[in-house]
Amino acid sequence: MAADFCYSPGLMPFEQARRLLLDSVKTINRIDSINTRKAISRILAGPIMAPMDVPANDNSAMDGFAFAHQSLLNDRPLELVGEALAGHPYSTEILLGECVRITTGAVLPKGADTIEMKEKSVLENAYVRMKHNVSKGQFVRKKGEDVRAGTPIFEQGHKITAADIGLLSACGIDRVDVYDRIKVAVLSSGDELVEPGEPLKPGQLYDSNRHMLIAALSRSHCEVIDLGIARDTIHDTRRALEKACEDADLIISSGGVSVGEADLLKQVVDDIGTLSLWRIAVKPGKPFAFGTIGSASYVGLPGNPVSSLVTFAQLTLPILHKLQGLTAKPSTSLLAKLKFPITRQTGRKEFIRAKIAFDQQGQAWVEPTGAQGSGILSSMVAADGFIVVEPDIETIAANSYVCFEWFPEELQ
């Protein structure tokens, strides 16, 4: 640990920045009522209570015979008096000494409290004998054992999964109120950028950030407005941002936020909106910028592709989730052992691209995936997540425990 450690001057500590960003945005309160079948990955705009018991009746967990347990006390075979099938209940009450054939899911007839499996019973001349001891109540699925009518089943801000659609359907709920998809405009900035597929002239490179960010945004179920590439002129940059804020809830640019002569984004945002934050003590991604343009939030990601993606994951996704109304989830991290030592410069919180493996004892081991330059996308591609290193740490010995954070689902 460096004795004279302090944050690099002019850089806001990472946690402070993330709090400030979250405090600066509000959920977009446009609500849509949609069919439950189409609600996968949408975010609930309000809590949901169960309108009914699930299951609605006591029913059978097995194919077999249903009867009153008391009928077994005198060891006599039970008379088979009818059948209860799934969808076709047996409507007469069963008396002592009687049983009915029952199938899995069929409503338990009145008078019955116990079921025995078909293969553990013997049916002879319309009488049924049990081969083994039978416990009272066995193989009965109780009314409301899954969900009780009137209890909350989902909270506001919950993102709907396939299992959720199953439970909602089981409760007969065919419509849900969800937040509208938020609109996110994405642009790249730089005279050097060319669309993949076009020929490269000297000094040019392909735009990777925009396509990478749009892909991650589509995993976040946003409506993406692709603004293409803005050239390094005040006019072009201004026009792109002004067009973006007509429709977008969030505008994301990449490139042009550092201190170079062609880094115009901050200036233009300052002119047509408000720039409220710039430069964070994070590696990679230091020149991250944040502000507002009209009613849209603005995020300026650094141009280096890894800086762009890391600050998207660490600083933009929390903003995006809050705009979407999604309840914040803790990141999925664990303590893992470091395979090789790390030496680094202090001053910024660092997200080191790393892969993870588990040994035969179940111990997690992590190692960086290679060169960590902020233009090296291949070490991002090879990684499962980040080793997260606090700003004041200078060296970490091999075999020590470090914090490993899996990539968020949007990056997987």
Ligand X SMILES: Nc1nc2c(c(=O)[nH]1)N[C@H]1C(S)=C(S)[C@@H](COP(=O)(O)OP(=O)(O)OC[C@H]3O[C@@H](n4cnc5c(N)ncnc54)[C@H](O)[C@@H]3O)O[C@H]1N2
Interface contacts to ligand MOO, rule CB under 6 A: 283-286, 302, 304, 307, 374
Q: Are 96 and 73 in contact (CB under 8 A)?
A: no
207 binds ligand X (CB under 6 A): yes
CB of 311 to ligand MOO, least distance (A): 8
Q: With CB under 6 A as the contact rule, which of the stretches 26-34, 242-250, 284-292, 313-321 interacts with ligand X?
A: 284-292
| Crossing angle (nearest 10°) for helices 14-24 and 317-324 | 20
Query: By C-beta, is 157 or 305 nearer to ligand X?
Result: 305
Q: How far, in Å, are 38, 41, 65, 152, 395 from residue 32 at the CA level?
A: 12, 14, 48, 21, 51
| 287 Cβ contact list (under 8 Å, min separation 6) | 257, 258, 259, 278, 279, 300, 302, 307
Query: By C-beta, is 9 or 152 nearer to ligand X?
Result: 9
Q: With CB under 6 A as the contact rule, which of the stretches 47-55, 131-139, 142-150, 280-288 interacts with ligand X?
A: 280-288
Query: By C-beta, is 68 or 281 nearer to ligand MOO?
Result: 281
Counting every residue written for the chain, the total comes to 412
Return the number of other C-beta atoms located less than 10 Å from residue 156's C-beta.
15
291 binds ligand X (CB under 6 A): no
Q: Give 324-376 as a DSSP string.
A: HTPPP----EEEEEESS-EE--SSSEEEEEEEEEE-TT--EEEEE-S---TT-
CB of 335 to ligand MOO, least distance (A): 26
225 binds ligand X (CB under 6 A): no
Phi, psi values for residue 6, rounded to 5°: -150, 165
CB of 186 to ligand X, least distance (A): 10
58 binds ligand X (CB under 6 A): no
Query: By C-beta, is 130 or 299 nearer to ligand X?
Result: 299
Taking the mean position of all CA atoms in its chain, how far away is CA 263?
34
209 binds ligand X (CB under 6 A): yes
Query: By C-beta, is 59 or 308 nearer to ligand MOO?
Result: 308
CB of 190 to ligand X, least distance (A): 5
CB of 3 to ligand MOO, least distance (A): 24
**How many chain residues bind ligand X (CB under 6 A)?**
26
Say how far apart CA 136 and CA 113 lie, in whole Å: 7
CB of 204 to ligand MOO, least distance (A): 20
Return the number of other C-beta atoms located less than 10 Å from residue 284's C-beta.
25
Pick from ligand X, ligand MOO, none: which does 77 bind, CB < 5 to 8 A by kind?
Answer: none
| x/- map, 293-322, ligand X, by CB under 6 A | ---------xxxx-x---------------
Q: Are 283 and 348 in contact (CB under 8 A)?
A: yes
Residue type for position 148: R
CB of 379 to ligand MOO, least distance (A): 13
Return the number of other C-beta atoms located less than 10 Å from residue 59's C-beta.
24
Query: By C-beta, is 166 or 373 nearer to ligand MOO?
Result: 373
Query: Which parts of 341-380 interact with ligand X (CB under 6 A)?
Result: 374
228 binds ligand X (CB under 6 A): no
Q: How far apart are the first and last CA of the chain?
A: 33
Q: Which contacts qualify for 355-363: CB closer than 8 Å, 24 or more apart?
A: 355/382, 355/383, 355/384, 356/384, 356/385, 356/404, 356/406, 363/337
Pick from ligand MOO, ligand X, none: which does 188 bind, CB < 5 to 8 A by kind?
Answer: ligand X
Binding site for ligand X (CB under 6 A): 188, 190, 192-193, 205, 207-210, 254-260, 263, 284, 286-287, 302-305, 307, 374
